[in-house]
Structure 1
Amino acid sequence: MGALVVAGTAVIAATYGLVRLAFGLHLPEMSREFGLGIATLGLISAGASVAYGLAACAGFLVGDRFPRALVLAAGLTAGGGSIGIALTHDVGIFSACAIVSSAGAGCASPGLVRIIHRAASPGDRATMQSVVNAGTGPGLIAAGCIAWSLAPDWRLAWVIAGGVTALATIAVLWFGREQASEAVEARSALRLPPAAWWASHRAALLAAAAFGFGAAAVWNYGRTALIDAGASAGVSLLAWVLLGVGGTAVILTAPLVRRLRPRSLWAVATIPAAVSTAALGMSSGSPPLAGAVCAVFGWGYVTATGALIEWTTQIDGSRAATGTAVLFVVFMIGQAAGAAVVGALVAQLGYSGAFGVAAAAACAAGVLGYERQARRVRIR
């Protein structure tokens, strides 16, 4: 079980930290080389979020039946897209590879949720899911350190991301091969969830969409905001590493926060992330403060995504992968909208105004999750 958790954490670290979220990390250098403006790059980021959402839709359909196939698809799309980004000099191919690479994260999450759910004992599932989901943090740290050591050669960083993704995928497929037969569980997963299941997820769906919108500001434009405010490339990369440090801290706090109900944990995570988003928009000219708020945002973001997994698992554990896929689809729809809207608002309102709008959306997400206790719904 320990080896499977490590391998699963590595897949999340690769598909999220080294690939999907690293697009914003390398955005300043890539924009200069390809001659793309921030609004255009925002549209590419939005397209990447749509690809993530489509992949998570596939997870919704087959995640509870064929989780290992989803993990394989994650490795192929994230790894292949990364290599494509590294090798191409054509804007069209670059855009396509950037979009396709994000599908890997959308496939990875629901597949790993089901694999871990099968392998872990009931008492350990929440902690194990939190640890695997927190792989985003180490991935971000690795991405920042790689970019720092290789700068300005961003292409080699994408080659490394593709290689790590492939190795991590192979490890999960190897260590997860002894899990229960997927065909045995297929009978219970063939039907779409009933109306009661959807009704019990209403608050989670609205909260996920709002937080996705709010989180788009930091991931897509955080480093650009720092550089435009006068920060050096090294300082901006350090801030990105601190995002990863905050995300990695989730592994340490998981045993403590697991005592909270999922909705309470959601509020505890999203409100600090909202405050950090607003603070980064206003403090991008102060590197120490910007670094601190990046660390807080990293913890809040990773903890919030873990809370979504626990939220849907609490509602119906037998459809944990389905629920994760649905919530992550909605989350990334919100993030796609946020990437496009915040990118347009930067030109009109500046970073402080645009990040303020995003922070308001993230704060609303926290309130949506905390406004009332979840009702227990009998789901057949």
Structure 2
Amino acid sequence: MKRTFSLSGLLVPSGLALVAATYGLVRLATGLYLPDVQDELGLGTAAAGLVSSGASLAYCLGALLGLVLATRRARTLVVVAALTAGGGGLGLSVAPDAPTFAVLAVLASVGPGVVSPALVEILRRDPVVAGDPSAQSTVNAGTGPGLVVAGALALTLLPDWRAAWAWSGLLTLAVAALVLVAARGGETGRQAPGATLPRSWWSAHRRVVAASLLLGAGSAAVWSYGRVVVLEAGGGTTTSLVAWIALGLGGTAVVATAGPLGRRTPRTAWTLTAGFTALATLALGLGSGSAVVAVAACAVFGWGFVAATGALIAWTVDVDPGRGASGTALLFVVLVLGQALGSALAGALLGGAGHEAAFAASAFLTAVGAVVAAPVRVRRLRVADAATPGRPRGARGPSRPCG
């Protein structure tokens, strides 16, 4: 069925909204509501840590599911995201006890895991959007608006965390429906490679995978302890929430910069955005006692982190266009695993050396990730090459600088 231009015009904003809902309103908002949840349901600190770990594992499982199914069942994955993230949000709003809350919070994190690879594939197949190099970055920037809305809900509704989760669930279901409408008829008839990643893919992605792991590890301090550091430095609850909203506004600004970044090579865009993420992390660690510095650092961090994840998507698509969805899923799994490791490291340093040392170490890891993209000639995989990993080197196309 031939698509109308109006539906293609709806695809990018609805995709952005779905990322905003599943990431900003569901996965990353749990920490915003956690203190009030603990007060009402008696969820202990240790149990909250287990919930966080379980949510990360669920996200990884969702992303792996996306890696396997995105090229063939992208729209089905959107339904999965709606049921887990949206349905999970509604379930959390009526959770009667701590165990039920924990199970639903873990389940809800499957949604963002499947969304990213699904949207990469949906955008790749759209005959109108596929020609826009900034479309992927714009959709990926949805995390920023989601954080802004989550912060606004927290300021408006807390301590009524149940109402906040109900709104999050309803909004997620609504925008998922919009994506399904916009993606209808989006098949182009092109055969995508399978989800299996050949040896040549791994060889060409060594630096991309390392960059993703280091970004995850280096960003964990802000995501896990950013609000804690601001509070301990003397900022009140309102200041910490404003800093969170500023983080979201920074991520939202990626929409405005998607065009200029899209005109750069993915490698250059990565180095720039990861570098700003490292500087913002260091600034927050050293200047959390100042409300102005804290808010400004969070805003810059939000822009840098979200833009850097967009650069990762562009990077893997540039290396192997036919496996963009699978590459995105894998890189995001690596990123979340890096966050798990980085959170443990930052937590250990916070308890010993203090938050300045913890955030400085995290900034260092992100900075190392930024220079991982130093000029190097990496082969861009053609679809035919990717499908024949045993083909001799000489039979493949010439090497080119890979962004």
Do they fold alike, i.e. is TM over 0.5? yes
Between the aligned partners of 1:371 and 1:241, the Cα distance in structure 2 is: 35
C-alpha contact 1:211 1:331 (8 A) present in aligned 2: yes
Cα separation, 1, equivalents of 2:308 and 2:209: 13
C-alpha deviation, 1:143, in angstroms? 0.8
Aligned twin of 1:368: 372
Is 1:108 the counterpart of 2:112 in the alignment?
A: no
CA 1:38–1:290 in 2, change beyond 3 Å: closer, same or farther? farther
Secondary structure of the 1:189 match is coil
Q: Distance in 1 between matches of 2:314 and 2:355?
A: 33
Match of 1:331 among 316, 331, 335: 335
Letter in 2 for 1:239: A
Match of 1:147 in 2: 154
Residues 344 and 45 of structure 1, relative CA distance in 2, 3 Å threshold: farther
Amino acid at match of 2:131: D
Tell me which moved more, 220-229 or 14-23.
220-229
Letter of the aligned partner of 2:328 in structure 1? T
Task: Map 1:266-281 to 2 at 5 A.
Answer: 266-281=270-285
Between structure 1 and structure 2, the one with the greater Rg is: 2
For 1:141 and 1:4, the matched residues in 2 are separated by: 21
Answer with 213-222 or 36-45: which moved more: 36-45
Taking the aligned partners of 1:143 and 1:197, their CA distance within structure 2 comes to: 37
Deviation at 1:27, TM superposition (A): 3.5
* Larger CA deviation: 108-117 vs 275-284: 275-284
Matches within 5 A, 1:45-56: 45-56=52-63
* Shift in CA distance, 242/377, structure 1 to aligned 2, threshold 3 Å: same
Structure 2 partner of 1:357: 361
Matched, 1:25 2:32: yes
CA shift, 1:34, in A, is: 4.8
Moved more, 329-338 or 86-95: 86-95
CA shift for structure 1 position 188: 3.9
CA drift at 1:118: 1.0
Q: How many residues align?
A: 377
> Cα distance 1:233–1:262, how it changes in 2: closer, same or farther (>3 A)?
same
TM-score for both structures, normalised by structure 1? 0.93
Quote the residue 1:222 is aligned against. Answer: 226
Q: How does 1:1-380 map onto structure 2 within 5 Å?
A: 1-35=8-42, 41-121=48-128, 124-180=131-187, 184=189, 188-190=192-194, 192-370=196-374, 372-378=376-382, 379-380=385-386
2:127 and 2:313 map into 1 onto residues whose CA distance is 15
C-alpha displacement of 1:350: 2.8
Displacement of 1:373 = 4.3
Contact 1:43 1:340 in 2 (8 A): no
Aligned to 2:391: none
1:32-65 deviation line (CA, Å, top 9, x unaligned): 4455565653443232122111100011111111
Structure (1/2) with the larger helix percentage: 1
The whole-number CA distance in structure 2 between the counterparts of 1:221 and 1:115 is 35
2:400 maps to none
The answer to which of 39-48 and 129-138 deviates more is 39-48
Aligned-partner Cα distance in 1 for 2:45–2:233? 15
For the Cα contact (< 8 Å) 1:50–1:336, is it kept in 2?
A: no
- What residue ranges of structure 2 are gaps of 5+ in the alignment? 1-7, 387-403
Give 1:283's aligned amino acid: G
Instruction: Tell me which amino acid in the other structure corresponds to 2:194.
Output: L
Residues 1-10 or 11-20, more deviating: 1-10
Q: What letter corresponds to residue 245 of structure 2 in structure 1?
A: V
- Whole-angstrom distance in 1 between the partners of 2:356 and 2:239: 19
Q: Which amino acid aligns with 1:203?
A: R
Q: Which blocks of at least 5 consecutive residues in structure 1 are unaligned? A: none
Which structure's relative contact order is higher, taking Cα pairs within 8 Å and 6+ residues apart? 1
Q: CA deviation at 1:343?
A: 3.0
> RMSD value over aligned CA atoms?
2.0
Closer, same or farther: CA 339–5 of 1 in aligned 2, 3 Å: same
- In structure 2, C-alpha distance between the alignment counterparts of 1:99 and 1:163, rounded to whole Å: 18
Kept after mapping to 1: 8 A contact 2:152/2:245 = yes
Do the aligned partners of residues 123 and 20 (structure 1) sit closer, same or farther apart at CA in structure 2, a change above 3 Å counting?
Answer: closer
Q: Counterparts of 2:314 and 2:108 in 1: how far apart (Å)?
A: 26
